[in-house]
Amino acid sequence: MSTADPWERDSRPSDDTGPLARVHVRAPGKINLFLGVGDLDEDGYHPLSTVFQAVSLYEDVIATPADGFSVGVSGVEDPETVPLDDRNLALRAAKMLAAATAYDGGVHLQIHKRVPVAGGMGGGSADAAAALVACNELWRTGLGADRLHELAARLGADVPFALMGGTAVGSGRGDVLTPALSRGRYEWVLLLDDEGLSTPAVYRALDMVRAEDAEFGAADAEARRRQDPVQVPSSFFESLLSGDPFELGQSLRNQLQAGSFRLRPQLEETIERVCDSGGGSVVGALVSGSGPTIAFLCESAEAADLTAATLRVQGRTALRAHGPARGAHLVAGTD
Ligand code: ATP
């Protein structure tokens, strides 16, 4: 079956029973506004206590019918960074849905990426969430939100949130989600790094930092080495409800960033420098997830535009986004 020109057509049939020719789904990247990380459990995972916010950096996934399974990617500078084989999370999502529903056809997935690869913003997870929604529609397999969530959780801890979007509290491995009330719109500047960070390597670096703290008797070592992740305090939810960027800025926290700083010390220096030079208009900053993307929260859209422009003049890649944003959703019509 032809997979040509997936970006140029939108040809849903007029009735809703015939085969679809193309389904377009968009899914957001995320920032962890709060990330508490516990010590390794027996299964080799770190329990998490997190608050996700979806942001307006979207991955576009277009699904077209095909005999087998394949994936193509655009929007990345270095194509080598995204695998096109079974390691690709979107392809795995499509195959998992086919297996779960006994669907015997295939799909070609064309992904246009905007979320930085290996940037700690869950781009691969967004692709997987979008692929689940797109294939479920294309194949008319009709799984409901609960079943899609189940498959998403099997694909990775961040995938269910990419389906859901908005703002949500995640516990367990981040996949047990509860929507969180949030008021207003938050303006972000995302500062990219040329080279990604491997999430497992950042967790290992965090384990190392914690072990050293214990060994050298750092004053707050006990507090930091608790078995359980630091829980989201109630004041955090109050700041989300306030809709006030200053309040949220004060509450941002990422326990994992000690690992990112260990692997890339310049991240800590950059956060300090940008916050100090922002004249108070940058109201909070943290490493996004495992990094190396840094998320700066600004007091207004204008302040964020100015901060991003200043960073670009300095030769850095800075993107603008706002949150919260919608979870994986169908894009209708031609685009
Ligand atoms: P994580 O979800 O592990 O925290 P991340 O958000 O930092 O990761 P991603 O862009 O999701 O970063 O990708 C992490 C790695 O996953 C990449 O280095 C890449 O090798 C692999 N990967 C698999 N599928 C995809 C995909 N569809 N897009 C990007 N990377 C993918």
Output the 3-class SS for the chain. Answer: CCCCCCCCCCCCCCCCCCCCCCEEEEEEEEEEEEEEECCCCCCCCCCEEEEEEEEEEEEEEEEEEECCEEEEEECCCCHHHCCCCCCCHHHHHHHHHHHHHCCCCEEEEEEECCCCCCCCCCHHHHHHHHHHHHHHHHCCCCCCHHHHHHHHHHHCCCHHHHHHECEEEEEECCCEEEECCCCCCEEEEEECCCCCCCHHHHHHHHHHHHHHHHHCCCCCHHHHCCCCCCCCCHHHHHHHHHCCHHHHHHHCEECCHHHHHHHCCHHHHHHHHHHHHCCCCEEEEEECCCCCCEEEEECCHHHHHHHHHHHHHCCCCEEEEEECCECCEECCCCC
pLDDT of 284? 97
Domains of the chain by start residue, with CATH: 23-180 (3.30.230.10), 186-323 (3.30.70.890)
260 Cβ inside 6 Å of ligand 1: no
Which residue lies with its CA nearest to atom 28 of ligand 1? Answer: 124
Distance 30 CA to ligand 1 centre (A): 13
pTM higher than 0.85: yes
Q: Which atom of ligand 1 is nearest to the CA of 124?
A: 11
Which residue lies with its CA nearest to atom 27 of ligand 1? Answer: 124
Ligand 1, pocket-test mutation among 57, 89, 155, most atoms within 8 A of CB: 89
118 Cβ inside 6 Å of ligand 1: yes
pLDDT of 278? 75
125 Cβ inside 6 Å of ligand 1: yes
pLDDT of 217? 60
pLDDT of 329? 98
Q: Which atom of ligand 1 is nearest to the CA of 71?
A: 27
Low-confidence ranges of the chain (pLDDT < 50): 1-14, 225, 334-335
Q: Is 95 a catalytic residue?
A: no
Peptide bond into 47 cis (omega under 30): no
143 and 104 Cβ atoms separated by less than 8 Å: no
pLDDT of 246? 96
27 Cβ inside 6 Å of ligand 1: no
3: left (phi over 0), alpha (psi -120 to 50) or beta: alpha
Ligand 1, pocket-test mutation among 82, 175, 194, 256, most atoms within 8 A of CB: 82
143 and 101 Cβ atoms separated by less than 8 Å: yes
Residue type, 330: L
Listed in sequence order, the residues at least 6 apart from 153 whose beta carbon sits closer than 8 Å to its beta carbon are: 159, 160, 175
Distance 220 CA to ligand 1 centre (A): 33
Q: What is the C-alpha separation between 197 and 192, in angstroms, rounded?
A: 11
pLDDT of 213? 78
Q: Is 30 a catalytic residue?
A: yes
pLDDT of 9? 41
